[in-house]
Every structure is written in structure tokens, then in C-alpha cells.
Amino acid sequence: MGGIYALIAVGLSLQYGVGRVLNISHGEFIMIGAFATFSLYTVFGISPLVSLVICGPVLFIIGFLIHRTLFQYLRGTSESEGAFADSSLLASFGLLFIIQNIALIIWKADIRGYSYLDSSVSIFGALFSANRLVALLFAVGISLAFYLFLTRARLGKAIRAAAEDPGTAQVMGVNIHRVLAICFGLGALMAGFAGVLISMMYEMQPTMGLEYTIIAIIVVVLGGLGSITGSLIGGFILGLIGSIVTYFDAGLSLIAYYVIFILLLLVRPTGIFGK
Amino acid sequence: MDRVKVISNRFFLPGLLLFILILLTTMPLFVQPYVVILLTTIIMYIILTLSWSIFSGPTRYISLASAAFFGVGVYVSAMLGQVLPLPVVIAVGGLVSLMLALFIGLLTLRLRGMYFIIFTFGVSELIRHFLLWWETNFTGTVGRWVVAVDHTTVYYVMLIIFMMALLAAYLVRRSKFGLALQSIGEYEEAAVHIGINVTILKTLTFALSAFFMGAAGAIMATRWTYIDPQIAFNPLFSFMPVLMAIFGGIGQLYGPVLGATIFALLEEVLTTEFPYYYMLLFGIILIAVILFLPGGLVGLIQRWRRGGLEG
């Protein structure tokens, strides 16, 4: 689970840390990823791993367009950074309602699920279910690839520059609107990937998004607002804690998250890796 | 020109207010029960939005803990409803929420901006999940029954809480207290430097706003008769007041009231007319308002008035 939390959180971190959009509809993109995979698998028999390649880019384009139209307009009309943060938060609520309703119309309110790689694999004598292993491998792989992209690629550097100081980045020749839209798109892409992987292991329903959004927010705060590396590590830490708590009492895991989260905010609000 | 406007305003506004109050008080005598129930819901949202804006309006600390205070009121009502008379239950509901707000307020003094928003949301979600876990593991039943009260009584109690909240909001705005709150919202460091005790002020106002939310929760529980943590601490009760207040416009006292009324009506119409598409329409309207009405309805009215005077 840690790997998936990391993916979700990195997506949100990109949108908030760089674009200053606390995207409450983040979980809805996860939900779309999960349901699209479900449909592709049950209707066309396309393997969920192939869906990764389909859902990711499609969601990227959707996210890119949403930012280009909606959030860019809001950014232009807002008086200050703070005003933009508030209005974009509200706008993302609007998105949440819209996306969730569309999903409800297409897929109905039922809980869905399918089985894929439902066998168990033994590694060093311990039993793991195959789909979880595959999901973990992919989550780690995507995270690593993304980390390399951010640190090595030219666009990745532009993104980090925009996160540090949008104004200066723009002066230095970064097309800020394009970079921010790409960040939002990448956030949606990450959410889509996470959704595909989640659909392999868990059941889904159109209202599942908000829960994942909340987990993502917790992880992002855990790692430090705006720190993308922090979100990666925070995701793994939270996933680990979740697994340990679930071992004792499954009902307590969400409570444990919130307790950690609240204590952290009180003791060290900048997060583990914050400045 | 100006004097004419001042005089007409002085008589017009209180007159309108009085008229609306009389209308609201006599309403149950001549309308169907359905309308009374609908009005109760609308007034509940108005109370939540208004009390939210008592604290968050001037200070610009966006609180997402409304559901926590509301839910606490609901649960007080469920636990004490059988033993205590209704007015006492409501007062206790308000007071317990007030205590919780004092506690949260003292904890969150160091947090600001996004951290405050997330923290308040975290607290209310923590309470919800903890109660859910507690009820399934120790009480054995997730839900509880609440002593039912007839619709008209619920309506009047709600109306009284609303008037109290309105009065409190008005007094806070008009007092030195409100001015100090405003200065916190403008520039907190400066407020500290001119000798305002920011800590106590923020905590007290937060507690005051929580009191009305708790009271509203306590009476609402008696209308629902069955409650569980998912109903009482529904995160929507945290989000709705924020959306409604911004929809109405935070700058003026009537903004949140107007926003809550129209929003709640809209929700009712959309859910009954378009049960499958209402969230979609809701979302579109929300985004449209954010894009084209940045000052909320109040901003629109003010712009229209100014335009009217010029023309």
C-alpha cells in the first residue's frame, strides 16, 4: 500500500506544491483510473497493466486541459496567492461533484471489483498475493522513474524551479502556464496510475475518491508541503504504519493516520522533510 | 443624495428584517408540513454558515471543523435526550461544542493558513472515525435512536438559535471585538503589536461560533431520530458552510445568510428535480460562481447598486 500512497501523494504534491491548487478532486482521478481499468478488463479483456499505458496519458490530457482553462483563468483573476489558493480549493470541489456524478451515471453506485493475478507467490517462505507484488513493483518503478525525471530532465528542472519561485522561473524563460498545466496533468496521471493499481487489489465504487484524497493530504503534510521527495518517502512510511496497525485492528488504521497527522501538525507543521 | 440613502436605509433594513422574522414565525400556521421541514433544513444551514463566518469571516482562518461541532451536538442530543428536557439538551450540546472548540483553539494557535484548514478537517475526521470504531467495537451498534420531537417545535427552536446567532454575529461585528478580529485577518503581527491579545480573541470567537453549531446539531438530531457517526459528522457539514459563505460573500452580514438560503434551496430543487444529475449541476454552478462572481452574491449586489447609482 505504501507505494500507492506515495504515487497518490506525489501527484497531489505536484499540484499543490507547484501549482498552489489543493486539489480536492484528486481522488476522483484515482476513481476514474480504477473504473476505466475495470471496464477495459471486463468488457474488452485488456490487461490492467496495459491499461496503465492507456489511462495515464488520457488522464494527463484531461488534467492538462482542466488546468489550462479553469485554473489558469482563476490564477489570472485572483488578487493574491492566498485568494487563488482559496478559490482553486473551491473550484476543485466543483470538479469533485462533476466527476463523481459522471462516474455515477456511467458505472452506477454499485461496488465493483474483478480478480486479476489472484494467486499467491512465495518469497523466502512468506506468502504474498501476486497482484499486490505487481502493484508494489509498478508503484516503486513509476516513483523512481518520476524522481529521475524531476532531477535529470530539463522539464523536471523547470518544474522544480516553478515550485521554488514562479516569478523568477518565468523571468528565466520558463513558460509558467505550460509548466503548471503539465504539473496538474502529471498529478492526474499519477492518480490514474494509482487508480489502475488499486483496482487490481481492492473493490471500488464511484464515491471512493475522497478517502484517497484525504490520505494524500496526510502524506503530503507528513512529507512537508511542497516537497516532492518528502511525499514519496512519506507515502511509504504511512503505508508501513497502516499495515502494522491493520495487523492489530483493521478499524484503527484511519484513526492512526489522523492521530499521526494531528500530532505531526502540532509538533512539526513543516513535515519531516520541510524546510 | 447621500442623506436620502442613509435615511431610507435606516428604516428599510430593520423593517425588512422585522417583516422576514414575522413571516418566519407565523409560517407554520399556514403552510404544509413539508415546507416547515424544508425551512428547518435551510435555517440549519444558515446557522452553520453564519456561525462559521463569525470566526472565519474577519480572521480569514478557514475552519473545516464545523462537522465536528455539529456532530458533537447531535451526539449530546442522542445520549441525553431521554434524561433531560429539550432546552437543557440543546444548551448542553452547544456548551460541549464550545469546550471542544476551546480545546482545539488552544492547540492550533501556532497553525495558520493551509495548516489550520487541514488540521481542523483532520480533527473532525478523527472524531468521526474514532466514534465509528468505538461504536462498532464497544457499544455493539453503529447507530443510535434519538427522542423525536414534532416538526413545528424543531422549527421554532431552530429559528430561535438562528436569531441568537444573528444577534451574536451582529454584535461581534459592531464591537471593538470585531474590529480586533478584522485586524487579525488583515495583518496578524501588527495586531499583536498594537496590544491585541490575539490568542484569547481567536479562541473565544472560535468557541462562540462552535456553540451555535452544537446547538443546531442537538435540535437537528431530534428531527432525524436515527443517527450514526456518518450522518452526524458528515464532512459535508464542514464543506457546505464554507461554500455557502463564499457563494453569498463574506464581507457583509447578510452574505452568508443569503448564500446559505439560496444554496440550500438550490440543493433541494436539484435533488428532487434531477436526482441523477444534481451533483453535476451543483458542480457546474459552483465553478461558474467562482469564475464569474468572485465577491459572491454580495459582490454582485454591490456592483449592481453602484451601477444603479451612477446611471
Cβ partners under 8 Å of residue A35, min gap 6: A103, A106, A107, A112, A195, A199, A204, A206
- Tally of CA atoms within 13 A in the half-sphere of A126 that contains its CB: 3
Going B109 to B113 to B114 to B117, the CA torsion angle's sign is positive
Q: A91 and B282: CB-CB below 8 Å?
A: no
Give which of A179, A200, A211, A233 is closest to A64, Cα–Cα: A179
Cβ partners under 8 Å of residue B284, min gap 6: A94, A98
Q: B166 is written with which cell numbers? A: 444573528
Could you tell me how many CB contacts below 8 A there are between chain A and chain B? 99
Instruction: Report pLDDT for B3.
Output: 52
Residue B67 identity = A
3-state secondary structure of A247: helix
Contacts of A258 in chain B (CB under 8 A): 122, 125-126, 129
Q: A214 and B279: CB-CB below 8 Å?
A: no
Cα separation, A225 vs A231, whole angstroms: 8
Closest-CA residue of A relative to B289 is A91
Domain limits, chain A: 2-109+128-206
Burial environment of residue A168 by CB neighbours within 10 A (0 to 12, 13 to 18, 19 or more): exposed
How close does chain B come to A177, measured CA to CA in Å?
A: 18
Q: pLDDT for B124-155, tens place per residue?
A: 888 988 888 888 888 777 778 887 788 888 89
Q: B50 is written with which cell numbers? A: 453564519
| Backbone φ, ψ for residue A112 (5° rounding) | -115, 165
Burial B269-284 (b: 16+ CB within 10 A, else e): ebeeeeeeebbbbbbe
Q: B219 is written with which cell numbers? A: 435540535
How close does chain A come to B149, measured CA to CA in Å?
A: 33
Count CB atoms within 10 A of the CB of residue B295: 16
**Could you tell me if the ipTM is greater than 0.90?**
no
Give chain B's domains with CATH numbers. 31-310 (1.10.3470)
Q: Which residues pair with A123 in a beta bridge?
A: A126
**Residue ranges for chain A with pLDDT beneath 50:** none
Pair A160, A150: CB distance under 8 Å = yes
Q: B278 and A105: CB-CB below 8 Å?
A: no
Q: A260 is written with which cell numbers? A: 499521526
Q: What is the DSSP letter of B137?
A: I
Cβ partners under 8 Å of residue B69, min gap 6: B97, B100, B101, B210, B213, B214, B217
Instruction: Report pLDDT for B101.
Output: 93
Cα separation, A63 vs A57, whole angstroms: 10
Give which of A266, A212, A249, A267 is closest to A24, Cα–Cα: A212
Count CB atoms within 10 A of the CB of residue B160: 14
CA angle, B126 as apex, A258 and B109 as ends, to 5°? 80
- Tally of CA atoms within 13 A in the half-sphere of A202 that contains its CB: 16
Pair A95, B283: CB distance under 8 Å = yes
Instruction: Report pLDDT for A90.
Output: 79
Q: What is the DSSP letter of A128?
A: E
Q: What is the pTM of this model?
A: 0.80
Strand segments, DSSP code E, in chain B are 144-145, 226-227
Residues in chain B whose Cβ is within 8 Å of chain A: 60, 62, 107, 110-111, 113-115, 118-119, 121-123, 125-126, 129-130, 132-133, 136-137, 235, 239, 242-243, 246, 276-280, 282-284, 286-287, 290-291, 294
Residue A257 identity = Y
Q: B280 and A210: CB-CB below 8 Å?
A: no
Residue whose C-alpha cell is 485586524: B183
Pair A10, A230: CB distance under 8 Å = no
Give which of A38, A21, A95, A33 is closest to A58, Cα–Cα: A33
CA distances from A42 to A46, A110, A119, A129, B207 (A): 8, 15, 19, 21, 53
Closest-CA residue of A relative to B133 is A251
Give which of B40, B309, B290, B6 is closest to B162, Cα–Cα: B40
Pair A15, A184: CB distance under 8 Å = yes
Each of the 311 residues of chain B gets a pLDDT tens digit; together they read 455 555 555 667 777 878 888 888 887 777 788 888 888 999 999 999 999 999 888 888 888 899 999 999 999 998 888 888 888 999 999 999 999 999 988 887 677 777 788 788 888 888 988 888 888 888 777 778 887 788 888 899 999 999 999 999 989 888 888 888 888 887 888 888 888 888 888 899 999 999 999 999 999 998 888 888 888 888 888 888 888 888 888 777 788 888 899 888 888 888 888 777 877 887 888 888 788 877 777 777 777 777 655 43
Cα separation, B185 vs B56, whole angstroms: 9
Residue B246 identity = I
DSSP B238-303: HHHHHHHHHHH-SSSTHHHHHHHHHHHHHHHHHHHH-TTTHHHHHHHHHHHHHHH-TTHHHHHHHH
Q: pLDDT for A171-217, tens place per residue?
A: 777 788 888 888 889 989 989 998 888 888 888 888 888 888 888 88
Cα separation, A152 vs A132, whole angstroms: 30
Burial A12-21 (b: 16+ CB within 10 A, else e): bbbbbbbbbb
Q: What is the DSSP letter of A16?
A: I
